[in-house]
Amino acid sequence: MVGQTQQRLERHSSQRTETHCLGKMSLNASMCQDEQEHWKSEITLYAVVYGIILIPGFFGNSVALWVLIGNIKREKKAVIFMTNLALADLAHVLSLPLRIFYYITHNWPFGKFMCLFCFYLKFLNMYASILFLVCISVQRCVFLIHPFKYSSWRRRYDVALSIIGWLVVILMCLPFPIMRNTESFNSSQCFADLPMKQVNLASSILMLTVAELLGFVGPIAIILTCTWKTAQSLKENSTVPNNRGGSRALKLVLMCATVFLICFAPYHIFFLLNQLRKLNLIADCSARRNIEILHSVTLCLASMNACLDPFIYYFVTAEFREQLSRTSSFLVRSRHLSRESTTSR
């Protein structure tokens, strides 16, 4: 009798302990006051970083598009992918003034559609940039290793691949705005401020897995493999004199890998952790605060590619530098002649 009573007391105590632990975990996840305090710093960070990106990103990618589309006629290697990369960056940069306005005023007077569209453009730029960085790396690597096999490659093939790539990225990024709850939309909430729709744990894990595999693990594996293969090919052909094509290919692939590692790798690491935080699977307040801060920082880094990508065109592509130099010289001469004609009058 005494033994049965002790067993019942132990079971009751165990149940109370489990309930207390679960309740404490839920309480910690929902009652971390520092997260609300950090949000004020987060929007300031976004406003400052996007303001820094805006001008160089706009002019860098505008000039890149102008030169790539209007002047480079003979260059076949990756010019179509570079053009699409610049287009994706420019589309994102053009949405930054509206984002900056929201983060400064804490008000969004442009309606629900524009809020979701600008929110969508952010991720569309990110994953389109990742796609075209992969395409540039693969093409330069393959063309270097198998030059005769792909000697008949035509530019229209790159155009077709770009169209298919855009369609895939457009569809893949749709869940980002769709998963936001906009039924009670008001002008004080936009972008990350919009509440998430309720999704069961299994669906959340599935979407996270697909996003990380297709948006991070797959691309980084391909880019690093292309970098290694290109370096190996160049090393094997080191006896070939004046192998400038191989050196330029390696520089281009290395630049793509650098942009990916700086801008997109950190974001995807903390994107996963931040989603776990939102699902309340991470309860410690200190860990939650650090994850949120680092997620905000890496989100800003992901936008820095709009400033870094033009360096790929300029420092790696010799034809781009030549055409840009010719265009600059033409503009300087035109301005000088215009001044002379005005003075003579």
Terminal C-alpha separation, the chain: 118
Which pLDDT score is estimated for 87?
Answer: 93
Other Cβ atoms less than 10 A from the Cβ of 154: the count is 9
Amino acid at 202: A
Q: How many domains does the chain have?
A: 1
**Could you tell me if residue 332 is inside a domain?**
no
**Domain of 162?**
37-323
Paired strand residues for 180: 196
On the question of pLDDT at 133 being above 90, the answer is: yes
- Pick from 123, 114, 120, 124: nearest CA to 185: 114
* Distance (Å, whole) CA 170 – CA 190: 21
Query: What mean pLDDT value characterizes the chain?
Result: 79
Q: Compute the half-sphere exposure of residue 57: CA atoms within 13 Å on the CB side of its CA.
A: 25
pLDDT of 231 > 60? The answer is yes
Instruction: Classify residue 12: in a domain, yes or no.
Output: no
Q: What pLDDT, on a 0 to 100 scale, did the predictor assign at position 14?
A: 45
- We report the CATH number of the domain holding residue 52 as 1.20.1070.10
Say which amino acid occupies 277: R
Least confident of 134-138, 265-269, 275-279, 327-331: 327-331
CA–CA distance from 317 to each of 219, 252, 261, 281 (Å)?
A: 22, 8, 21, 46
Confidence of residue 95 (pLDDT cuts 50, 70, 90): very high
Q: Could you tell me which of 86, 40, 41, 44 has the C-alpha nearest to residue 64?
A: 86
In a domain, 21, yes or no: no
Residue 11 lies in a domain: no
- The answer to whether residue 343 sits within a structural domain is no
Is 297 inside any structural domain?
Answer: yes
User: For 307, how many CA atoms within 13 A lie in the half-sphere containing its CB?
Assistant: 15
pLDDT tens track for 182-226: 788 888 888 878 888 887 878 888 888 888 899 899 999 999 999
Q: 15 lies in a domain? A: no
Average pLDDT of 164-183?
90
Cα separation, 129 vs 162, whole angstroms:
12
Are 273 and 291 a contacting pair, CB within 8 Å? Answer: yes
**Both structure tokens of 254:** 């290395």
What does the pLDDT read at residue 149?
Answer: 79
Query: Could you tell me the pLDDT band of residue 247, with boundaries at 50, 70 and 90?
Result: confident
The answer to whether residue 214 sits within a structural domain is yes
Residue that the structure tokens 């700086």 belong to: 262
The DSSP letter of residue 180 is B
Backbone angles phi, psi at 281, to 5 degrees: -85, -10
Q: For residue range 54-79, what is the model confidence (pLDDT) as tens digits?
A: 999 998 898 888 888 775 555 556 78
Residue written as token pair 């909430």? 189
pLDDT (0 to 100) of residue 334: 57
Strands (E), 123-211: none
**218-221-223-226 Cα dihedral, nearest 10 degrees:** -130
Q: How far is CA 238 from CA 148, 232, 247, in A?
A: 19, 10, 10
Rounded-to-integer distance, Cα 323 and Cα 75, Å? 11
d(CA 80, CA 261): 23
| Listed residue (248, 193, 161, 172) closest to 42, CA to CA | 193
**Which stretch of DSSP H or E encloses residue 141?**
helix 111-145
d(CA 182, CA 175): 14
In order of 94, 248, 279, the CA distances from 184 in angstroms are: 27, 53, 22
